[in-house]
Structure formats: C-alpha cells, structure tokens
Structure 1
Amino acid sequence: MNSQIIDTIKQYETIIIHRHVRPDPDAYGSQLGLKYILEHNYPEKRILAAGEHDSTMDFLGMPDRVSDSDFNGSLVIVTDTANTERVDDQRYIDGEKIIKIDHHPNDDAYGDLLLVDTNASSSSEMVYELYAVGKELEGWELPEAAARQLYAGIIGDTGRFMFPSTTQKTFAIAGELIKTGFDRNALHNGMYEMERKLLHLQGYIYQNFKMDENGAAFVKITLDVLKEFEVTATETSLLVSSLGNVKGMKAWVIFIEEEDEIRVRLRSKGPVINELAKEFNGGGHPMASGATAYSWDEVEKVIARLKEICAAAV
C-alpha cells in the first residue's frame, strides 16, 4: 500500500493533509511531518496542512490557510483520524481522492486508499515507514524539520516510550529520526514544560481524584474549577496522564466540563477502555481513548462502567 500511495502522490499537483480535531502531538507530527517530507521531495507541488490551530501545539508549528478552491482536483490525505466525524475541516470530502493513514481501529473505513496499522505506535511511525519506501523507490530525503515532527508524534503517543505500543521498530525509527540532528532538548521542553497555572491544576487533580478498591479512578473538572485556575479545557490535555503515577491505579477518567458538553478522557494501565469510549460518543486506543458526555448524570454512567471494567480485570 505504501508504494500505491506514493504513486498516487506523484499524480497530484495539490495535496491537502488533514488530521483530527482536538489535536495531540501525533496529529500534528504525522500531518506536518508528511507535509515537510513531500515539500522537500516535490518542491513543484503545493502541499497544505488543513485544520484549526491549537495553541498547545505552538511548539510544533501552524497549519496553512486553505481556500475552497484549493480542494478542486486535489489529493486529500487524512492522518491519525479514525472516523470522519473527527476530521478537522470537513471540506476534506471536496478533494478528488482521499487517503487515510491511521493506527486506530478501522471502524470507519473511509477513503479511496487506506493504510491502517493498529500495531503501529503512532501515525507518525507510519509516515516514517511511508518515507522509507519513498527513499527506496524514489530517492526521497528526510529533512530535519520532518524528522522533528515525526519524533514528537512518536514520543507523544508512546508516553516517551513507556506505553505498551512501543516496539523494537519504534525505537529503531526514533534512532533514525534523531540522526538528522534536530534539537531534542528544545522539543522536549516544548512538549512537557507547563505553566504554573497548569501545575496548580495538576495539584487539584491529585487532591480531588477518587479511586475505588479495584483501581478505577476519576476526577471532575468543572467550569468553575477551570475559571479558578484560569485554564482552558484544551490546555487540560497536558494533564491527562497525571494519575498514571498513582500506585494501584488500573484505569482512570478525567471529566472536563465545557459550555455544551463534558469531555471524557480515558486512560488505562491494563483494562481495555476503548469499547467504553464507544458507548459514549467516542473511541480510540485500548489504553487511551476519548468520549463525550452531555450531562453529569451521563458522567455517573461512565464512572459506573469504568468500575465494572476494572472489577472484571481483578
């Protein structure tokens, strides 16, 4: 499939790359990493990154301004996005052909060409593998800027190589990426340094989470709490893994209230939780998923189900 995707890329003058809403480092890393690879190796083509910018991703870069006319006769590539509802910028359907590159379960098999590998640590890892085939077949080169993006995506989705999704291949690819010489220290600082207000909210999470005897935990962050700490709902994404350091913790959920919905961020150190996410308007990986609740009553149902899952895993 990689060679088929490369052949398709060669046929188009305009290529627009999308990723998912509420982006994380792998969404940006796979999108911008692919953009920089294609720009470097096909300077005559127009390569655009679509989607609304998230300020928490400032350290990685910015998407492009994409007009309606840009989609005419274009190739659209969507990275790191399991289903069509989560594609950032729904104009992606206006392209002539769509390619999906993703490592989530393929529950929504959209696109004309699909490259899906649930065994990959990240979509950024998959983009590197696409580059490796391009290097072999077409002499592609890997610019430093692209390597930086892909490395960020990999360490973001593997929790700095701590998650079970990390494989020997993942380490080998990371090793190839750092050979380009980008500043890893600066990248790590951009990814993991937090403002004081976020550290204060992290303290609130540690003080207020509840955990049962089976290792199921939760914490609720209401609009009032966000206001008190002067933190946006988007910024809380940097804190979702905080409870993973708690001894005895099996799985946890952080609820973040917004004006019209409640974000549900699920993480696990063992029990599979993506099926739970699907029950509540979401999905994701077996150990890291997201969902949406529309009332605090619905939140209680999520908590009850999480407790059942952890109890069954005892």
Structure 2
Amino acid sequence: MSTMPFNPKEANKLFKDLLKEIKENQVIVIYRHTLPDFDALGTQMGLVYWIKDNFPEKEVHYVGEGHDKFIPSLFPQPEVLENKWYQDHAKKFLAIVVDTGSLERISENNIQFASKIIKIDHHPNVEPYGNMNIVYDMLGSCAELVALFCEVFANKYIVSKQAAEYFYIGIVGDTGRFQYHDTRGMTLRLAADLLDTGIDIDSIYSRMYLSTFNSLEFLKFVLNTYKRTESGICYYVVSAQNQKDLGISMNEGKLHINTFRNVQGVEICISVTEDEAKGNWRVSLRSTRVKIGGVASQFEGGGHDFASGCKLATLDDLPKLINALEKAIEEQKNVGTK
C-alpha cells in the first residue's frame, strides 16, 4: 500500500489534461493488459462507454485478447483492428492504456502507431511510458481512478448506467468486494454514486461469481494437493496436464488462490500455473500483511504490496521463490517486534 496520500489538486490537473486530449482526438483506441481481469476489462469498457455517451461523434475502439469466462457474460467481445487499420491511421489516433504497468503487458500492442499515448494505472509506476502518466498506486483499482475522473466532470458529462456497471465491476473485482486494505471512503462513495445510476448489483454479482462444475472439481483438486510451509505459505501447482484433465484454462489457474487467504496462520497464498504456450509458469501471490511486491520483482514480475504476480522458468525455481517469501515473512515479524 502506498504511503503517499492522494492529492486531489494534482489529480484534477491531470484529469483536465486527459479530458483535453479526449476532446482533441477524433479517433481513440483503448488498451488494457494481457490475461485481463475484472478491473482491466471494467475500466476499459467503462471509459469506452463514457466517451461514446458524451462524444458520440468520435471513433472509439477497444482491443485486447478475450476471456473465456468474462466474455460475453459481462463484457463484449474485443475488437480486432488489422495491421492495415493501424497503417492507415498511423499517428492519427490517441492510445489510452488502462491498468497496465509495463509496455510488455499491453494486450494487442500496436501503440507505436499512436500520435500520443496516455497511461492510466493504479500499479506502482515502475515503468513510466507514453506522453502522460496518470498513476495513483494508493487506489484499490484502476476503475476507481477512471470513475473519479468521470465524477470530477459530472456537472457537464454523464455516466450512463452501462458505463457505471463496468466501473462497478472493476472496483468490486480488485477490492475483493470492498474487503481489502486499499478500500477507502472515496471508494465507497464512488461505488454509491455508480449504484445511484440504477445498476442491478444482483445481476452483476451473479454473473461475476457464477461457478461451474469444472470449477468445483478444480477446487477439490486444490484442496487435495495444496502444500503449506511452517512459515505460513500455502501454495498449489497446476500443470498443463492438470488443466486438460480438469477442463480449465490457464487463465483460471489462480481462481482459488484466495481460498487460503483468511485461514489462521496463513501469511502468503500462491498459485503456480503452467503456461504451456510460453514455456514457463505463471505465479500469483496474495498476502494480508506481508509485502510481496518486492519479491515478485525478483522473479520477472511485480504488482502491489499485497497482490502481485511473477514468472518461473521452470518448477525447479519454486523453492527459490518460497525461500524469498519466507525471508519477507521473517522481516515483517522483525518489524512487528520493534
């Protein structure tokens, strides 16, 4: 969690600059990160609809890989812009990238053709990129940041029911339904304003958290195979063969990581999922009080203090990761005793 307080005056200046860019560009493409989650998709589509609702004359596109669970139940299929489109529009469109800390993680990345690039994010700004960075890592979600931008100009521009639904999904997704430490008073006030547009939270939650028998079988697998260390680390491993046997996608490997989050004595939860296509293992890390972002950065990753991700070249590297996390746990204990 960032110790830097949110600065409304600074944010408002950046918001005015963002609005100016949106007004001045006729063609806008909105990007988000690979392996999209609720926040990436919710922020992207919320901003798409906000622009379309208030500036209907503009040409707005949304791109990125799909998601086999969230699309089309929650979000529309992403657009596919061919190379010819980018060549024809070279230096003629504004690129807005949401919820994406690094250039490497941009899905369907063709931002080199953009005339200007704006980064909007809530991850630590380890890799600034583009012409404008609107980054506040103390916020619980990128959707909260963009919803705040919309709220600042609410006296002139509307937030439609559809845009509000997308922003709400993004906020709920990254704050764990307002359970996590980075849920603030501002978060709840924004959520209340989104609710006041008339969105149906019963419908939203039922679609967000709809499960399947495959997911249930996967949970059984996790509970039967997880490991735990004396230091308080709980982890499970999902190989490519496991994914095939269970009928789940690689994206779903981290689905049950929070199962262990509130278990007494557990400090850190880990899911380790084989990415057969890329020949590595994707790791998701969650913690309630031990800062894990620094450890993730040692293993080709990063993220927030208490929710991060990284990669392992082989499963043989897992003990090294666990050892580094155990050191982080010990350091946290030492801080607590001082």
Partner residue of 1:145?
A: 162
Deviates more, 1:88-97 or 1:64-73: 64-73
SS at structure 1 position matched to 2:111:
helix
Shift of 1:151: 0.4
The reply on whether 1:112 has 2:126 as its aligned counterpart is: no
Deviations 1:8-56 (A, max 9, x none): 1100110000000000000001100000000000000011101111122
Q: Structure 1 residue 36 and structure 2 residue 58: aligned? A: no
Q: Distance in 2 between matches of 1:169 and 1:193?
A: 28
1:64-213 pair list within 5 angstroms = 64-68=79-83, 69-70=85-86, 71-72=89-90, 73-136=92-155, 139-213=156-230
> For residues 311 and 170 of structure 2, what CA distance do their matches in structure 1 show?
24
CA root-mean-square deviation: 1.3
Partner of 2:32: 19
The gaps in structure 1 that reach 5 residues or longer are none
Residue 63 in structure 1 maps to residue 74 in structure 2: no
The structural deviation recorded for 1:135 is 2.4
Q: CA deviation at 1:196?
A: 0.9
| Deviation readout 1:270-301 (Å, 9 max, x if unpaired) | 10111111111111111111111111111221
Deviation at 1:115, TM superposition (A): 0.4
Which residue number in structure 2 is paired with residue 238 of structure 1?
255
Please say if 1:313 is aligned against 2:328: no
**Superposed displacement of residue 123, structure 1:** 0.5
Greater shift, 68-77 or 32-41, is seen at 68-77
User: Is the Cα contact below 8 Å between 2:99 and 2:123 reproduced in 1?
Assistant: yes
CA deviation after TM superposition for structure 1 residue 66, in Å? 2.0
For the pair 1:252 / 2:266, whether they are aligned, the reply is no
Q: Number of residue pairs matched?
A: 312
Does the Cα contact within 8 Å between 1:3 and 1:133 map onto a contact in 2? no
1:267 is aligned to 2:286: yes
2:80 match: secondary structure: coil
Q: CA deviation at 1:60?
A: 2.2
TM-superposed deviation, 1:227: 2.1
Task: Give secondary structure in 2 for the equivalent of 1:217.
Answer: strand
Counterpart amino acid of 1:49?
A: Y
The answer as to whether partners of 2:140 and 2:183 remain within 8 angstroms in 1 is: yes
Distance, in Å, in 2 between the alignment partners of 1:56 and 1:283 is 25
Pairwise CA distance, 1:238: 2.6
Partners in 2 of 1:120 and 1:183 — Cα distance? 24
| SS of equivalent to 1:180 | coil
Moved more, 33-42 or 174-183: 174-183
Moved more, 303-312 or 255-264: 303-312
Following the alignment from structure 1 to structure 2, what is the Cα–Cα distance between the partners of residues 150 and 303? 35
TM-score (norm 2): 0.89
- Equivalent pairs: percent with the same residue? 31
Q: Is the 8 A contact 1:220 1:255 kept in 2?
A: yes
For the pair 1:289 / 2:308, whether they are aligned, the reply is: yes
Query: How far off is 1:65 after superposition?
Result: 2.3
- Distance in 2 separating the partners of 1:296 and 1:109: 31
Deviation, structure 1 residue 312? 2.6
C-alpha distance in 2 between matches for 1:27 and 1:82: 11
Hey, what's the Cα distance between the residues in 2 that align with 1:26 and 1:307? 29
- Equivalent in the alignment of 2:60: 47
Q: Which residue of 2 aligns with 1:5?
A: 18
1:263 deviates by: 0.7
Amino acid at match of 2:151: A
Deviations, residues 175-203 of structure 1 (Å, cap 9, x unaligned)? 00011112211111111121111112112
TM-score by length of 1: 0.96
| 1:87-115 deviation digits (Å, cap 9, x = unpaired) | 11120221100001000000011010110
Farther off after superposition, 113-122 or 232-241: 232-241
Q: Residues of 2 paired with 1:236 and 1:134: CA distance? A: 40
Residue 175 of structure 1 aligns to a residue whose secondary structure is helix
SS of residue matched to 2:19: helix
Q: Say if 2:232 and 2:265, in contact at 8 Å, map to a contact too.
A: yes
The Cα shift of 1:236 comes to 2.5
Deviates more, 1:4-13 or 1:125-134: 125-134
Q: Distance in 2 between matches of 1:206 and 1:241?
A: 12
Structure 2: gaps of 5 or more residues? 1-13, 334-338
